[in-house]
């Protein structure tokens, strides 16, 4: 309840701060009545778009359930002790933080820094998890939803490194789409961190679609296996990923790949170049310029699972 939350938030301080995002600050807290550790996103209502984002998150997450979605436990709207409006979203806590922290440990504060890097198999499993959740959102849940903000900081990792997609602040129920409000949200969100992940058609007023999510998923795969952010010169920056192409992949793959994969837990003689070429090729096909040429999520899952079965 809100009362429990207020008690729990009483103790908020920089020591239980776990991150801050576009619309709010995330704290780790204990809900005493449920004896459960939770992540509380306290919204910064001063931020333009924060209220819309709060409502989008509640609307999108209220009826959906999937093992690779972070669970929104409750949403809270109340008045704090100083009489200010207080809105918060309470999620289950993900002890392994975000995928972003694992991919770019050098940018993470020491106390939050993972103690090792992700292996090739772990990265493959995470990409299958994320593709499964997209497939669920796009075709299996009662009303199709486009996430619209898929990126490594929105992929959280459970204690066994199961991926859970979070942050539905820009998500759209596709049947109730309202283009103007989406564009407002996108600009008020300040696309910082999302440039590079958003599909090219979004930059020119395109409507949110399942194909847009597939593009972001492709970028996520490329980032996961190269270790490079999409704004890195390898990808040519904003919205273009074409400085390495499908045909150049087989020869260049070991230069392009995240070096930490090459040193992590592979058996002697593992055909790493072959495996990485296939995975990166899936990523590139998700990033096709034309939305309808992109791989369907069901195809991406099938291909990633078959790569996993073939090499592990
Ligand atoms: P953004 O707006 O940047 O996507 P969020 O506000 O959703 O980010 O979250 C900020 C950061 O807080 C995340 O990158 C993640 O590290 C952390 N975080 C968010 N939710 C949780 C959670 N449920 N469990 C653990 N950490 C979380």
Residues 243, 255 contacting (CB under 8 angstroms): no
pTM: 0.87
Nearest CA residue ID for atom 23, ligand 1: 93
Give the model confidence (pLDDT) of 156-213 as tens digits. 999 999 999 998 877 777 754 455 554 444 444 433 337 788 888 887 777 888 999 9
Please tell me if the CB atom of residue 166 comes closer than 6 angstroms to any atom of ligand 1.
yes
> Does the beta carbon of 156 lie inside 6 Å of ligand 1?
yes
Give the active site residue among 4, 135, 149, 281.
149
Q: Kindly report, residue by residue over 49-75, the tens digit of the pLDDT.
A: 788 778 877 877 777 889 999 998 888
Nearest to 29 by CA among 79, 78, 89, 115: 89
ipTM: 0.95
Q: How far is the CA of 102 from the centre of ligand 1 (A)?
A: 13
What pLDDT score does 163 carry?
A: 98
* First vs last C-alpha separation in the chain: 46
229 phi and psi angles, rounded to 5 deg: -70, 150
Residue nearest to atom 15 of ligand 1 (CA): 98
Is 100 one of the annotated active-site residues of the chain?
no
Is 124 close to ligand 1, i.e. is its CB under 6 Å away?
no
Residue with tokens 């058996």: 267
Give the SS3 label for residue 226. Answer: helix
CA distances for 170 relative to 57, 132, 261, angstroms: 8, 20, 32
Give 97 Cα–ligand 1 centroid separation in angstroms: 8
């Amino acid at each position: 309840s809100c009362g429990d939350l207020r008690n729990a938030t009483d103790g908020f301080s920089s020591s239980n701060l776990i991150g801050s995002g576009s619309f709010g600050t995330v704290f780790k807290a204990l809900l005493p009545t449920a004896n459960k550790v939770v992540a509380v996103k306290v919204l910064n209502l001063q931020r333009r778009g924060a209220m819309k984002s709060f409502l989008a998150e509640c609307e999108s997450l209220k009826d959906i359930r999937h093992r690779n979605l972070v669970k929104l436990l409750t949403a809270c709207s109340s008045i704090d002790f100083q009489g200010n409006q207080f809105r918060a979203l309470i999620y289950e806590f993900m002890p392994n933080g975000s995928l972003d922290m694992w991919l770019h440990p050098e940018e993470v504060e020491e106390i939050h820094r993972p103690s090792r890097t992700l292996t090739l198999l772990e990265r493959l499993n995470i990409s299958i998890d994320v593709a499964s959740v997209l497939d669920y959102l796009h075709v299996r849940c009662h009303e199709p939803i486009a996430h619209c903000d898929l990126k490594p900081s929105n992929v959280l990792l459970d204690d066994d490194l199961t991926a859970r997609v979070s942050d539905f602040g820009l998500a759209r129920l596709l049947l109730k789409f309202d283009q103007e409000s989406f564009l407002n949200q996108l600009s008020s969100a300040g696309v910082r961190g999302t440039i590079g992940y958003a599909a090219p058609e979004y930059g020119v007023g395109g409507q949110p679609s399942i194909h847009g999510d597939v593009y972001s998923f492709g970028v996520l795969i490329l980032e996961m296996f190269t270790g490079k952010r999409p704004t890195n010169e390898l990808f040519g920056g904003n919205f273009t990923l074409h400085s390495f192409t499908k045909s150049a992949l087989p020869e260049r793959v070991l230069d392009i790949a995240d070096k930490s994969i090459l040193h992590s837990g592979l058996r002697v003689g593992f055909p790493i170049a072959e495996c990485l070429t296939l995975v990166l090729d899936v990523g590139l096909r998700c990033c096709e310029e034309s939305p309808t040429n992109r791989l369907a999520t069901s195809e991406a899952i099938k291909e990633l699972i078959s790569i996993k079965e073939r090499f592990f």
